[in-house]
Homo-oligomer: A and B are copies of this chain.
Amino acid sequence: MNTTGRKLRADAERSIKTIMEAAERVLSENPAATMEQIAEAAGVARTTIHRRFASREALIDIMAVAAWKEIAEAVDAARPATAPPRVAMYQATANVLRVKSGWRFALAQHGPLTGEAARIEAEVTAKSDLVIGRAQQEGVIRPDVDLLWARRVYFAVLTEAAHGSFTGTGPDPDAGIDELATRVVDTVLRGLGPGKD
């Protein structure tokens, strides 16, 4: 396989991309799917996968890194350190939902992450905590709320929202995502109950 970062030919790069996309598709429906099934879905021979990825584990790890990089970009694009907390939360939620729809498997927790992926995940977590902390300082989150709990709840609802309901790229795929993001932030901050009665 290719451990060295040597320059690859164009068709090889294409194979890698095709394989990772197929793997994501197949594994998101059946995490125990075999290399054979992935190869078939990708339209390549099984040996080609082994040529490009040292092992099944390596393939999954590389997918996780790629996915988490996109998540990190999605969060950064929401300007977590500078934008008003509410805006940052909404933006990050929408961006992350978009990324999650394409990396359902790679972003699912398969035990604790390791290596590069773990590092990026930690970065994302830190940035999330930053936003949540700023949100509390500015009164968007109550002062008595534990921030660790706040993050866990936010992640849980975000992940739940990402399940299903990515039904086909209709006329405007972003409309659904934007609405979903609004609902996530709204639910986490206001809850499901009435304000005061």
Contacts and interface: CB of A to CB of B under 8 A. Distances in A.
Interface of A: 30, 111, 139-142, 145, 149-150, 152-157, 159-160, 163, 183, 187-197
B196 A195 contact: yes
A150 B157 CA distance: 11
29 contacts: A139-B194, A140-B193, A141-B192, A142-B192, A142-B193, A142-B194, A145-B192, A149-B183, A149-B187, A150-B192, A153-B157, A153-B187, A153-B192, A154-B192, A155-B160, A156-B157, A156-B160, A157-B157, A188-B191, A188-B193, A189-B191, A189-B192, A189-B193, A190-B193, A191-B191, A191-B192, A195-B195, A195-B196, A196-B196
A189 B193 CA distance: 4
Contacts of A142: 192-194
Contacts of A197: 139
Contacts of A156: 156-157, 159-160
Contacts of A141: 192-193
Contacts of A190: 191, 193
A152 B188 CA distance: 13
A142 B193 CA distance: 5
Interface centre among A111, A187, A191 (most CB of B within 10 A): A191
A105 to B, nearest CB: 13
